[in-house]
Amino acid sequence: MTATPNDLQWPTHAPVYGAIRLRQFEDGDIPMIEELATDPYVPTIGSLPANATTAEAQSYIDRQRCRLAEGAGFAFCVADRQTDVALGNAGLWVRELPHGRAGVGYSVAPSARGRGVAADALRALAGFAWTIDGLHRLEARIEPWNTASVRTAETAGFEREGLLRAHEEIGGRRVDLLMYSLLRPDNRSVTDN
Ligand SMILES: CC(C)(COP(=O)(O)OP(=O)(O)OC[C@H]1O[C@@H](n2cnc3c(N)ncnc32)[C@H](O)[C@@H]1OP(=O)(O)O)[C@@H](O)C(=O)NCCC(=O)NCCS
C-alpha cells in the first residue's frame, strides 16, 4: 500500500550509517547552523539566510521541526554517532510520494567536511526511506560543477540519468541539474521480466 505524506511518522530509532546518525534538530545545533550559513552555496538552495544571526538560525531549526507535519518531509540533523555533535542536514522530501518518488538533499558544515559525512548521511537516509511503503525511487538533483555532491551521491549508490536543462533557478540564475537516482533494492521494472 502506498503511504501518503500525511501518514508518515518520525522514525522511532534514529537512522544510522557509518559515523553518523540522523535525528531531530535541537536548539543546541544553532552554532552548526550559523556555520552552515557562512557557506556561499547553502543559502542559495534552501531557506537558511546567508550569514544567519542566532535568531535566524533558531527560526531555521523551528522550521525544520515543522516539515513533517506540513507534509513536506523529514528534515534530519546529521549528527556524529558517538558524540551527537551536529555536523549538517539531510532531507527526505515526500510531496511526490503518491507517485512513488522522493527527493533528497544534504549539506555539511564546512568544519566537518572532507571525511565522507554526507555519503554516510545519504546511506542512512536511503535505508530509512525504504521503510516507507510505496516509495520506489529517490532523486538527487545536482549542479554539474558540484563534484563533492556528485561523489556523495555516487558513493551512496545513486546513478546518473541525465541533465535537466535550465531546470531551476538557483542564486538568481537558471541552472542545469544532473539527475541522480537510487531505486528501491527489490525494485523491478517491467523490462526486467
Ligand atoms: C556536498 C557536501 C555535502 C559534501 O560534504 P562531505 O561529506 O564533507 O564531502 P567530502 O569532502 O568528504 O567529499 C566527498 C567526495 O568529493 C570529493 N570532493 C570534495 N570536494 C571536492 C572538490 N572541490 N573538487 C573535487 N572533488 C571534491 C572528495 O575528494 C570526496 O571524494 P571521494 O568520495 O572520491 O573520496 C558538502 O561539500 C556541502 O555541504 N556542500 C555545500 C552544500 C551542497 O552542495 N549540497 C549538495 C547540494 S546537491
| Structural domain contains residue 166 | no
Grid cell 518518488 is found at 101
Mapping DSSP to helix (H, G, I), strand (E, B) and coil, where does residue 46 land?
Answer: coil
H or E element in which residue 173 lies: strand 173-183
- Cell numbers that stand for 188 in this block: 523491478
| Structural domain contains residue 37 | yes
Characterise 113 by phi-psi region: left (phi > 0), alpha (psi -120 to 50), beta (else): beta
Q: Separation of 147 CA from ligand 1 center, angstroms?
A: 6
| Structural domain contains residue 152 | no
| Structural domain contains residue 77 | yes
Q: Could you give the CA distance from residue 83 to residue 87 in angstroms, rounded to a whole number? A: 11
| Structural domain contains residue 134 | yes
- Report the CATH number at residue 10: 3.40.630.30
Q: Separation of 172 CA from ligand 1 center, angstroms?
A: 23
**pLDDT band (50, 70, 90) for residue 189:** low
b/e code 90-126 from CB counts within 10 Å (16+ = b): bbbbbeebeeebbbbbbbbbeebeeebbbbbbbbbbb
pLDDT at 188 over 90: no
Task: State the total domains in the chain.
Answer: 1
pLDDT digits (tens, 9 = 90+) for 63-99: 999 999 999 999 999 999 999 999 999 999 999 999 9
Q: Could you give the CA distance from residue 190 to residue 193 in angstroms, rounded to a whole number? A: 6
| Structural domain contains residue 22 | yes
* DSSP of 128-151: HHTTSTT--EEEEEE-TT-HHHHH
| Structural domain contains residue 33 | yes
**Averaged pLDDT of the chain:** 95
**pLDDT band (50, 70, 90) for residue 193:** very low
Q: Could you give the CA distance from residue 142 to residue 147 in angstroms, rounded to a whole number? A: 9
Measured at the alpha carbon of residue 159, what is the angle toward residues 41 and 25, in degrees to the nearest 5? Answer: 45
82 lies in which domain range?
Answer: 5-139
Q: Is 64's C-beta closer than 6 angstroms to any atom of ligand 1?
A: no
Mutation choice for ligand 1 from 39, 107, 155, 179, CB with most ligand atoms inside 8 A: 107
Predicted confidence at residue 154, as pLDDT, reads 98
